[in-house]
Structure 1
Amino acid sequence: MTIKKEDLRIVFMGTPEFAVESLKTLVENDYNVVGVVTAADKPAGRGQKIKTSPVKDYAVAQGIKLLQPEKLKAVSFLTELADLKAHLQVIVAFRMLPEVVWKMPALGTFNLHGSLLPQYRGAAPINWAVINGEKETGVTTFFLQHEIDTGHIIEQRKMPIGPNDTAGIVHDKMMVLGAQLVLETVNKICKGKVETKAQDQFVGLEEVLKPAPKIFKEDCKINWHEPIEQVHNKIRGLSPYPTAYTEIINPKGKKTGLKIFETQILHNSEKPFGTIYSDNKSSVFIAGNGGTLALHLLQLAGKKRMTAKEFLNGFKNLNDYKLDL
């Protein structure tokens, strides 16, 4: 089935900043986005001010019809969605959809996922790819079906992961690459040139599939007994959010949380394993398993994020502390 670009009616569903780039790319390439579905407004922060999603902010600025359902199976929402008469739905970083929603448009519903499916199915593909030390990741568009992240693949694009790239760096690069892939996918659908493949065709005979489940606070605590490369990968894979952390202990035995955002591996280990120390000027170090980590960006509990030099300006007695192992 082919359809003229100007006649194609698209509903876009997404919530965070990652999704805005894809929506913006469709709008700026003159596609007819007739509606946007995003998360409901909610209170956030200490003052509990109402927070709106980045996708909502962009949609409102562009004057696009906006839907913010609490429940995706609510009759009122389904009626409003059907009234938009969309031919195609595009999903980028949104909730799991019920079948009644993703089956609604004649041309289907496709999703942009932040990995080379079927690898890293799940909620946190960027984080886990970096945590696992992958040198490459990518983006995938696929049509939705019943099981999450399992639909037939439309297109994929690869991208490298640098040895010191954080999840935040990969996120920002992937956001742009993903938007380009969304545009290419919509172009193909519009021209009736889509050929999909089942995900099992992308798996080698002895390839093991790696999951990307949601990350919880207990997953973020650093295990210093792991090889130094794994610790470094975990820190960058959780940076800037939800952030890897450890605890340091003062001479009186009191523990204080320490978030770590950016590190560098130094393979010399001059200090005993588990020692946290500094040069009292501009560098903080932790002697780990197989090497030393230089901590470049960190945050003490109750304080703001700062460089190692800024940290040491207000923390003169670090060498008296121990690492909680």
Structure 2
Amino acid sequence: MKVPRYCVGQLVNVVGHCAGEPFNNDFFVQCRILCPADDGTYFVRVLKSDGYSIVDEDSISAYPLYDQEKPADRKRIRVVFFGNGLFALPTLKKLVEQGYDVAAVVTMEDKPCGRGNKVSPSPVKTYAESQGIIVYQPRNLDSDDFLQAIRDMNPTVGVVVEYRILPQSLFKIPKWGVINLHSSLLPVYRGASTITSAIKDGKGITGVTTFLINSGLDKGNIINNLATYIGDNDSAEDIHIQLRTNGAVMVDDAIQRIAHSCNGIPQSDLICDFIQPSHAPKLFRKDAYIPWCDSAYRVHNFIRAHSSVIGGQYYPKTPAIAGSVSTAWTSLKMIDSDSATDVKIHKVSKTGIPRGYHAPGEWFWQDGSLMVACQDNLLSVDILQLPGKKRMTAKEYHNGFRGVCKGFCDISPDDKDETTSEK
């Protein structure tokens, strides 16, 4: 990806025809950048016509807010990093590799993780210790001893990625404040299940945002953002990887912008037809129960939105912070069985085949594919997982059942467990 030269909220001049204006208009039209994209383009709002356009960087005429060829001395910027899992790890690595003075890492306490419930450190802690960085795992972020330890470091800036809500007594300590990396294009999808919500809602675009923490939940001034396009078949796993990679670069960009006295933009300045505040709530296991009575399009989005991250996110029994919460699942009862089995569905494909006489939730083998009926069309199940087993293809599942693949999924999840949550 290319680090954007211009940033969100910046007023720029764009060549008129590139912004969708007729040739007989002014050569340049004024636009406000709503978000740069990781393909090097910019999504802008054309102020004169109140329209929207996607433009290349070469069509923009404006002074950048700082000279990227002359970065602030990273060795003189002392960072305290707050983070936890796989989404946070690339950012911490980037800060270390870029030469920032990472004075300490603050992460969650070691907790049971994985199939054997073995007490394990977070990925962030493991990496920090390998680099000789001091690690703190406080239960109480407001404790006097912990706050004093952070003050004694005299940090220039704090960075938060995939961690808890910081109290004001803590985020007021660093000289430049605390930067939060968030996995959406704020103010869209404030909250916990950002990636899942974007894919489930059928959005074609999402991204990362860096902002300065204040007392509101994900409501601080935006430093910059970066859009990523969501493909028709992209899963939450795919987007999670893309965003955590882009996010690491954008945190470095955010620190440099603050070092060059760039002020953040209030989120309210970005609200328009295409950008409206929304909430991505904390999700539980029951929220990943597949709604087979919906259209095949919506069910396909639902399943890829709830795809899990390979290797598991840290703390699988707690709500997700950035990404999918629980793998999409269904309760399946085979015709030759008296009991139902919970089955995780990792990947499906659209077929365009009408469901015909098949009831929503009906599960059967047809023409070499494992099919499930939805409200209108059939979906082909590609990858699934039985309890206590590894992921398997539909063909492997078919072979394991000796060709018997006929059953019905429960389409009434109302009685499912509402207290269990997982990443």
Given the two structures, how large is their TM-score scaled by the length of structure 1? 0.94
Q: Which runs of 5+ in 1 are unaligned?
A: none
Letter in 2 for 1:276: W
The aligned residue for residue 113 of structure 1 is 182
Counting matched residue pairs gives: 322
Q: Does structure 1 retain, via aligned residues, the 8 Å contact 2:186–2:267?
A: yes
Letter in 2 for 1:200: S
The aligned residue for residue 224 of structure 1 is 292
Letter in 2 for 1:156: N
Q: Does structure 1 retain, via aligned residues, the 8 Å contact 2:365–2:406?
A: no
Letter in 2 for 1:244: A
1:277 matched to 2:346: no
The aligned residue for residue 378 of structure 2 is 292
Displacement of 1:253: 4.0
SS in structure 1 at match of 2:279? coil
Given the two structures, how large is their TM-score scaled by the length of structure 2? 0.73
Question: Larger deviation: 294-303 or 247-256?
Answer: 247-256
Question: Larger deviation: 16-25 or 240-249?
Answer: 240-249
The aligned residue for residue 129 of structure 2 is 60
SS in structure 2 at match of 1:106? coil
Displacement of 1:190: 2.1
Letter in 2 for 1:209: P
Give per-residue Cα distances to partners, 1:193-223, cap 9 Å, x unaligned: x121110111115854331111101111111
CA distance in 2 between partners of 1:206 and 1:41 (Å): 41
Q: Does structure 1 retain, via aligned residues, the 8 Å contact 2:334–2:405?
A: no
CA distance in 2 between partners of 1:296 and 1:117 (Å): 34
Aligned residue among 91, 115, 119 for 1:22? 91
CA distance in 2 between partners of 1:28 and 1:207 (Å): 34
Letter in 1 for 2:199: V
CA pair 268-63 structure 1, distance change in 2 beyond 3 A: same
| Aligned-residue RMSD, C-alpha | 1.8
Q: Does structure 2 retain, via aligned residues, the 8 Å contact 1:110–1:142?
A: yes
CA distance in 2 between partners of 1:207 and 1:170 (Å): 20
Letter in 2 for 1:40: E
Displacement of 1:311: 1.0
Q: Does structure 2 retain, via aligned residues, the 8 Å contact 1:267–1:290?
A: no
Give per-residue Cα distances to partners, 1:228-248, cap 9 Å, x unaligned: 111110100000151111111
Letter in 2 for 1:120: Y
Aligned residue among 243, 246, 259 for 2:330? 246
Letter in 1 for 2:384: L
The aligned residue for residue 200 of structure 1 is 268
Letter in 2 for 1:303: K
Displacement of 1:317: 5.1
CA distance in 1 between partners of 2:116 and 2:341 (Å): 26
Q: Which runs of 5+ in 2 are unaligned?
A: 1-70, 309-323, 412-423
Q: Does structure 1 retain, via aligned residues, the 8 Å contact 2:303–2:348?
A: yes
CA distance in 2 between partners of 1:187 and 1:129 (Å): 29
CA distance in 2 between partners of 1:295 and 1:46 (Å): 25
Give per-residue Cα distances to partners, 1:46-98, cap 9 Å, x unaligned: 54422100000111111111111111111221121111110110111110000
CA pair 208-118 structure 1, distance change in 2 beyond 3 A: closer
Q: Does structure 2 retain, via aligned residues, the 8 Å contact 1:5–1:190?
A: no
The aligned residue for residue 112 of structure 2 is 43
SS in structure 2 at match of 1:162? coil
Letter in 1 for 2:387: A
Identity of aligned residues (%): 37
CA distance in 2 between partners of 1:210 and 1:101 (Å): 27
The aligned residue for residue 132 of structure 1 is 201
Displacement of 1:29: 0.9
Letter in 2 for 1:36: V
